[in-house]
């Protein structure tokens, strides 16, 4: 198991500064995305991905995962809209090639929301169809495509998540216990998803709160680490404290919480 941080954890920093933070904290890996000052430019990536690769290769750090959002919001071009699939596939062809050339092993996307005049079942069926098609696009470049169950998607329970995993022939997920914990699901109920994790996001949470200080939440991270050891998980554990105007996540000291989570994991590993 390897540590990383997310670039969107530090929205006022440039990507270069985020990479510097990762190195100073002896984490030495970073998840990248399209948000805030710490982003890479999606438009430039789609038009000239080699130019971005040349810039990123100068930083001498491991890029652990790419968070790809097809549109400009959770709703725009989301996977539960079938009409988006053709353009989403074209974009992902370029993005997966970019990841292959930058040695990023996985991309994560969101499963979609319940759109206008849709049922949850409609959203599920459209999303599962899109996910299978998009996974095939990534496999051409030997990149693993993952989806993340999250608050406000059509996928807000461990049970529904397992159904989508099965409907996509065992597609792996980005597992963030916080999204289930804040909705009231117990850690025990969420544990059934751990064997399907291809990437992990870590932050503390409790019922009603997507994010909270390490000492104030209910997630037992030692238990999660123990479960990951049982399944011989070898991929990244990405620390994802954020400072966003979303789900009341504006009030934690991101750097302090990142350090506390790093220390918890290192102490568990005996470092």
Domain range list for the chain: 2-268
With a cut of 70, list the residues of the chain below it in pLDDT. Answer: 271
**pLDDT (tens digit, 9 = 90+) per residue, 138-193?**
999 999 999 999 999 999 999 999 999 999 999 999 999 999 999 999 999 999 99
Coil, strand, or helix at residue 44?
helix
- Kindly report the CATH class assigned to 2-268: alpha beta
Tokens of 181: 């914990």
**CA-based angle 226:179:152, to the nearest 5?**
160
φ and ψ at residue 118, rounded to 5 degrees: -115, 150
Separation of alpha carbons 109 and 170, rounded Å: 16
Separation of alpha carbons 83 and 150, rounded Å: 22
Angle, in degrees to the nearest 10, between helices 221-230 and 254-268: 50
């Amino acid at each position: 198991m390897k540590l990383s941080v997310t670039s969107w954890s530090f929205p006022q920093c440039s990507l270069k500064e985020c990479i510097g933070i990762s190195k100073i904290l002896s984490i030495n890996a970073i998840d990248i995305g399209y948000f805030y000052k710490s982003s890479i430019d999606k438009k430039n990536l789609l038009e000239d991905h080699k130019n971005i690769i040349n810039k990123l290769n100068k930083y001498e750090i491991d890029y652990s995962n790419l968070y790809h959002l097809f549109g400009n919001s959770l709703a725009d071009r989301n996977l539960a809209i079938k009409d988006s699939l053709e353009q989403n596939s074209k974009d992902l062809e370029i993005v997966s090639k970019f990841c292959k050339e930058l040695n990023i092993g996985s991309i994560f996307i969101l499963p979609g929301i319940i759109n206008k005049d849709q049922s949850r079942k409609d959203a599920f069926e459209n999303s599962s169809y899109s996910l299978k098609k998009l996974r095939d696009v990534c496999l051409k470049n030997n990149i693993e495509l993952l989806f993340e169950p999250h608050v406000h998607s059509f996928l807000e329970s461990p049970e529904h998540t397992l159904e989508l995993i099965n409907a996509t022939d065992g597609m792996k997920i980005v597992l963030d216990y916080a999204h289930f914990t804040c909705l009231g699901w117990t850690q025990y109920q969420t544990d059934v998803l751990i064997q399907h994790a291809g990437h992990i996001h870590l932050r503390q949470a409790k019922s009603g709160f997507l994010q909270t200080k390490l000492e104030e939440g209910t997630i037992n991270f030692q238990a999660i680490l123990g479960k990951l050891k049982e399944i011989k998980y070898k991929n990244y554990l990405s620390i994802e404290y954020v400072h966003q105007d979303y789900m009341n996540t504006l009030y934690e000291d991101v750097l302090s919480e990142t350090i506390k989570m790093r220390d918890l994991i290192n102490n568990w590993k005996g470092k």
